[in-house]
Amino acid sequence: AGRMDLEKQAFDLRECIESAFDLVAGRATEKGIDLAYLLDPNVPPVIIGDSTRLRQILLNLLSNALKFTHEGEVVLAVSAEKEEDGPLYQLHFAVRDTGIGIPPERMDRLFRSFSQVDASTTRKYGGTGLGLAISKRLAELMGGRMWVESAGVVGQGSIFHFTLRAEPSTSPLPIFLHVKQPELSGRRVLIVDDNATNRYILMRQVQSWGMEASETAYPHQALDWLQAGQTFDVALLDMQMPEMDGVALATEMAHCCLSRHPMPLIMLTSLGLREADALEVKFAAYLTKPIKPAVLYTTLLNVFGKQPAVQKVIQGVPASDLPAAAGRPLRILLAEDTVVNQKVALHILERLGYRADLASNGLEVLEALQRQPYDVILMDVQMPEMDGLETTRQVRSGIWLGSHHAGSFKYQPYIIAMTANAMQGDRETCLAAGMDDYISKPVHVDELSLALGKAPVLHQDEARPAGAPQPVEAPAGEAIDPQAFAQFCQAMGSEAPLAIRSLLQDFIVESRAQLDELRRAVQAGDLEKTRRDAHSLKSSGMLVGALRLSEQCKTIEVAARQGAPAPIPGLLEQVEAEL
């Protein structure tokens, strides 16, 4: 009905874009289509606006582009221009595909509700013909417009453009992404990828860090360079290339030159780690497309054995300044109905060192409370079946407990409302329903952390005693807790097995690197670093349900924090075995 209020919140534009890509990456892999995105350096990193709606538009355009493309690539480019009068920027997004294209005479119909290019589209591709109409309206609400460009030639594809006006946020977000990095500067990179867009993006990125890059589309040319005596510090090899794939190239490189001039090899792939362990050549890392600059950055530092020169900062708060979640063993229930929001909230919680159980409506919240106590419920206000307000009233009244529980019921969870329509009076409504606190959506790491900091820990009796930590007795059973893993899958959207698989692959690669770091810290006797590294590995483990691993890391973390290093080497052995 066009009656819609937009959020006005500072958010990280890159994170918003990456989260939209995360959701389509699985489908791109299945179809063998390359994904990439490119942000001009002058695009403000943090803008004020409605990140959920922007993601909705991007997701829509990216899904369409993938749907109507059978081979080639889908690329998002973002540019920005400052308006002359005032602080606002015009942001321009363009989603380009190499798909079936749209005949010029049909273009004007596209943005009308319930319209598709022709009737055969519906038969072949399905869809409702609503996505673009909604996306266009959203772009207009954001002060922009939407249009399309296409020659209507199969293979030349289409470009969907939209603009919006936004104010950059002044909150300091240290952007390591576009400045020279002392640890990387001057290092020589070899890039071999048949996809020109990808090469261009990688070149620009590594050059902005001060690296010297040589690129080629041809594996044979790379081999020629090496045979002619050229040396590099690292090579980025694409897996899928027509002439010779990444593994074959790596094998050739190993035969001809790597013994004389060893260098780490990094694989770029949308296929994942398949059979990686059986390979003759070991890759130092595997990166999934689209390549995220932040991931490329940490990977490069890792292969060079360095720590990030700039600490990773989440929306203005250095991760190390966030309250140590380990000290506050909160049990959290996240009540939220949309998968994207679940994913984002869980992701933020995890960064804060927390794990949460999930409920997707009020009835599920009540069920979850029957099963076990929670310290905190993060409660979405609008949910199907039973909304957050009604759920809170029921929780507070205790009716839901049923007769057999009522007597033993001694606590009430701390309820934090999450709502996207930050309207006047909402806060009061939430508090009146019995909620304790209120945060706005999209959830911000610092706001959430503050709110969680106020919640009392209810189940102190179950928290680990503060005395000297004992090595944990490894519980019998699987390394991956099935229930925790199921929750992880649910949070990732169980309809996206490929996304889950690629995340698990990231976990394998990353946790090995984290373990190496931890081992180094223990060997150096650096308790502070040991604590930090154990903490990181603990959080990664929790995310995928490796609960025993997490528990072991936590014991190391606690020992290091208490300055009691004696049991650490023994514990480290356990962690190694577990991993």
Residues that bind ligand ADP (CB under 6 A): 60, 64-65, 68, 97, 99-100, 102, 110, 116-117, 121, 127-133, 158
Instruction: Decide whether 34 or 506 has the Cβ nearer to ligand ADP.
Output: 34
Q: Which two tokens stand for residue 38?
A: 């490119």
Instruction: Note whether 76 and 62 are within 8 A (CB).
Output: yes
- Please state at what angle helix 339-351 crosses helix 445-454, rounded to 10 degrees: 70
Instruction: Decide whether 98 or 574 has the Cβ nearer to ligand ADP.
Output: 98
Place of tokens 């594996």: 219
Q: How far is the CB of 38 from ligand ADP (least distance, A)?
A: 18
Instruction: Decide whether 121 or 230 has the Cβ nearer to ligand ADP.
Output: 121
Place of tokens 């892999």: 29
Q: How far is the CB of 292 from ligand ADP (least distance, A)?
A: 23
Q: Residue 63 and residue 72: Cα distance in Å, rounded? A: 15
CA-closest candidate to residue 297, choices 150, 388, 185: 185
Q: How far is the CB of 269 from ligand ADP (least distance, A)?
A: 25
Helix (H) or strand (E) holding 272: none
Instruction: Decide whether 73 or 238 has the Cβ nearer to ligand ADP.
Output: 73
Instruction: Note whether 541 and 556 are within 8 A (CB).
Output: no
Q: How far is the CB of 101 from ligand ADP (least distance, A)?
A: 6
Q: Residue 36 and residue 76: Cα distance in Å, rounded? A: 6
Q: Residue 193 and residue 239: Cα distance in Å, rounded? A: 8
H helices of 170-234, in order, are 196-208, 219-227
Q: How far is the CB of 158 from ligand ADP (least distance, A)?
A: 5
Instruction: Decide whether 151 or 463 has the Cβ nearer to ligand ADP.
Output: 151
Q: How far is the CB of 339 from ligand ADP (least distance, A)?
A: 18
Hey, how many other C-beta atoms are within 10 angstroms of the C-beta on 428? Answer: 10
Q: Residue 202 and residue 38: Cα distance in Å, rounded? A: 10
Q: How far is the CB of 145 from ligand ADP (least distance, A)?
A: 16
Instruction: Note whether 163 and 144 are within 8 A (CB).
Output: yes
Instruction: Decide whether 99 or 541 has the Cβ nearer to ligand ADP.
Output: 99
Q: Residue 392 and residue 438: Cα distance in Å, rounded? A: 13
- Return the SS3 of 442: coil
Q: How far is the CB of 133 from ligand ADP (least distance, A)?
A: 6
Instruction: Decide whether 43 or 65 has the Cβ nearer to ligand ADP.
Output: 65
The residues, any chain, with a CB within 8 Å of residue 462's CB and separated by 6 or more, are: 329
Instruction: Decide whether 77 or 435 has the Cβ nearer to ligand ADP.
Output: 77
The residues, any chain, with a CB within 8 Å of residue 85's CB and separated by 6 or more, are: none
Q: Residue 332 and residue 356: Cα distance in Å, rounded? A: 5
Instruction: Decide whether 38 or 107 has the Cβ nearer to ligand ADP.
Output: 107
Instruction: Decide whether 107 or 480 has the Cβ nearer to ligand ADP.
Output: 107
- Return the SS3 of 216: strand
Instruction: Decide whether 130 or 498 has the Cβ nearer to ligand ADP.
Output: 130
Tally DSSP H helices, then E strands, for the chain.
19, 19
Which residue number has the CB closest to ligand ADP?
127
Instruction: Note whether 111 and 118 are within 8 A (CB).
Output: no
What is the identity of the amino acid at 492? M
Instruction: Decide whether 127 or 471 has the Cβ nearer to ligand ADP.
Output: 127
Q: How far is the CB of 100 from ligand ADP (least distance, A)?
A: 5
Instruction: Decide whether 146 or 192 has the Cβ nearer to ligand ADP.
Output: 146
Q: How far is the CB of 263 from ligand ADP (least distance, A)?
A: 40
Q: How far is the CB of 28 from ligand ADP (least distance, A)?
A: 14
The residues, any chain, with a CB within 8 Å of residue 99's CB and separated by 6 or more, are: 65, 68, 69, 70, 72, 154, 155, 157, 158
Q: Residue 198 and residue 469: Cα distance in Å, rounded? A: 49
Cross-strand partners of 166: 89
Q: How far is the CB of 69 from ligand ADP (least distance, A)?
A: 7
Helix (H) or strand (E) holding 545: none
Hey, how many other C-beta atoms are within 10 angstroms of the C-beta on 332? Answer: 22
Helix (H) or strand (E) holding 446: helix 445-454
Q: How far is the CB of 66 from ligand ADP (least distance, A)?
A: 8
